[in-house]
């Protein structure tokens, strides 16, 4: 039996993304470009869902509880023509906690956390951030969420969540999932065929 299809969107840009600050579970709002990206994802989604031959309202919609993901979902739903507020949130979709590193850039951390940063470089998947999580821990809660879904679903969440989904679903190996860019303004479609990007 085929698994549900996921239409996954990373939240739009924030000022901390621009500054390359680690956001983790800090509730940083979208900036002006982030809102444009979210609306653009709504346009892409509208086209993708129309191709499926089903009404947009037939899909499930779920977001991380953080404001940047919720606003992304609401802007997408507006573009699709759905009530902005009729979606669920699930705490299992929260971004990975960066613990005491949240709010810092890697350049700033280099001065005071150089040994920990070096350890992270050796094992990005398994490294537990000080006071936070590892990708290996994040995948446990994201897997539990994924295994609970029963219908094709539109998701608004975070880069880390997308990375561990890619690993869990076998799109890439865990070591590869922990590096590389998860773009904003892109709709990632996870299905039995693998993963596709639409922008």
List active site positions. Answer: 11, 95
Q: In a 3-state reduction of DSSP, which class is residue 69?
A: helix
Q: In a 3-state reduction of DSSP, which class is residue 8?
A: strand
CA 59 to centroid of chain Cα atoms? 18
Place of tokens 């809660």: 141
CA–CA gap between residue 142 and residue 139 (Å, rounded): 5
Asked whether 102 and 26 are in contact (CB, 8 A), the reply is yes
Asked whether 152 and 59 are in contact (CB, 8 A), the reply is yes
Q: What are phi and psi of 31, to 5 degrees?
A: -100, -175
């Amino acid at each position: 039996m085929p698994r549900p299809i996921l239409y996954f969107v990373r939240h739009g840009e924030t000022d901390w993304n621009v500054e390359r600050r680690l956001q983790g579970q800090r509730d940083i709002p979208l900036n002006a470009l982030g809102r444009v990206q979210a609306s653009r994802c709504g346009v892409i989604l509208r086209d993708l869902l129309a191709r499926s031959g089903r009404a947009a309202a037939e899909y499930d919609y779920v977001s991380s509880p953080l404001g940047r993901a919720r606003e992304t979902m609401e802007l997408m739903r507006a573009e699709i023509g759905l009530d902005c507020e009729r979606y669920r949130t699930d705490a299992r979709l929260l971004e990975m906690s960066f613990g005491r590193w949240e709010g810092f850039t890697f350049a700033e951390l280099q001065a005071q956390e150089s040994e920990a940063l070096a350890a992270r470089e050796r094992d990005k998947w398994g490294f537990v951030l000080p006071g936070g999580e590892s990708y290996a821990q994040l995948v446990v809660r994201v897997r539990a969420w994924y295994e609970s879904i029963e219908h094709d679903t539109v998701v608004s969440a975070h880069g880390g969540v997308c990375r561990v989904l890619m690993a869990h679903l076998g799109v890439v190996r865990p070591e590869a999932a922990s590096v590389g860019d998860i773009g904003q303004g892109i709709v990632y479609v996870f299905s039995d065929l693998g993963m596709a990007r639409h922008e």
